Amino acid sequence: MERSEFPAVLPFELHTHTVASGHGTKDTVADLAKAACKKGMFALGISEHGPATPLSCSESYFRGLKTAPRMRAGIRVYYGAEANILDETGRLDLSGDTLCGLDFVIASIHPNSYFCPAYEPVPLYEKVAVYEAGRLPKAHPVMKDAQEAVRCNTEAYIGAMQNPFVRVIGHPDDVRYPVDVKALVAAAVRYGVALEVNEASLEPGGHRGDTRSTMRAILLECQRLGHPVLLSSDSHGASLVGEAPLAWAFLSEMGFPKELVLNLMPPETFWSLKHKAPER
């Protein structure tokens, strides 16, 4: 596939953060919506970190999103969450009552909020300090047992996918949290969940490590099973909303079919993966 077949900006995306996530930006929902509109996007999702992320939103913030305006700066805005997967059962840091009021839910593993016996716990001072410094988290979990970590992480993701409100697994390529790729993709197909190709993950020297070989394995398995993927900027702030040049280049180099890229399809394709679209 020629790289030119991919658009410069994602027509729509769901994984972005504002000032409410507590780190990485001071931009608001209005700032992101304006930027997305200016770039020609037709829809934008806002997905703040769940309450287990230090200094992020409380549960009540997410409950309040039910009444937030769906059109902002001339663009359709979807309000969701990037919920934290807390342990190997796939438990999330937001209750079912809250999740059911959101337009979509991304479930991700982050070092500051995930407990798995195969890792040394991240010390509390480290969890909070990185956020107070206003930087993205760099905490590196220390793995004690690699085989047990794969089992635990894979179960955690699959447990989260079984949650009826989870539509996306965020950055499943994080090398700090290795997975059984075949089991992961099979579960994604089974539970109608999209696996994310995360732009921030593919940045050279990124805090998730060199994610390319895991991402390649996930994409090959998705292609083999005909399961679509969702691209995300994971932008903290307005400037990078809709931008995923590394992800596009990666798909292009692999010859990944654009028919399996949800961002290039009508949004109904994404919404119908799991169950019907939000009604608001």
Q: Check residue 25 for interaction with Zn ion (CB under 5 A).
A: no
Is the CB of 2 or the CB of 28 nearer to Zn ion?
A: 28
Q: How many CA atoms does the CB half-sphere of 271 hold within 13 Å?
A: 11
Task: Please give the Cα distance from 81 to 187 (Å, whole number).
Answer: 21
Q: Which of 155, 199, 234, 243 lies at the binding interface for Zn ion (CB under 5 A)?
A: 234
DSSP 78-132: EEEEEEEB-STT--BSS-HHHHTTSSEEEEE--TTT---TTEEPPPHHHHHHHHH
Residue number closest to Zn ion, CB atom: 108
- Residue type for position 75: I
What is the closest distance, in whole angstroms, from the C-beta atom of residue 279 to Zn ion in the complex?
A: 26
What is the closest distance, in whole angstroms, from the C-beta atom of residue 265 to Zn ion in the complex?
A: 22
What is the closest distance, in whole angstroms, from the C-beta atom of residue 136 to Zn ion in the complex?
A: 9
Q: Check residue 174 for interaction with Zn ion (CB under 5 A).
A: no
What is the closest distance, in whole angstroms, from the C-beta atom of residue 58 to Zn ion in the complex?
A: 18
Q: Taking contact as CB under 5 A, which single stretch among the options 120-128, 168-176, 186-194, 264-272 is the one that binds Zn ion?
A: 168-176
The phi, psi pair for 196, rounded to 5°, reads: -90, 140
What is the closest distance, in whole angstroms, from the C-beta atom of residue 188 to Zn ion in the complex?
A: 17
Segment 72 to 111, residues that bind Zn ion, using CB under 5 A: 82, 108
Cβ atoms of 216 and 175 within 8 Å: the answer is no
Task: Please give the Cα distance from 138 to 58 (Å, whole number).
Answer: 22
Residues that bind Zn ion in the complex, under the rule CB under 5 A: 82, 108, 170, 234
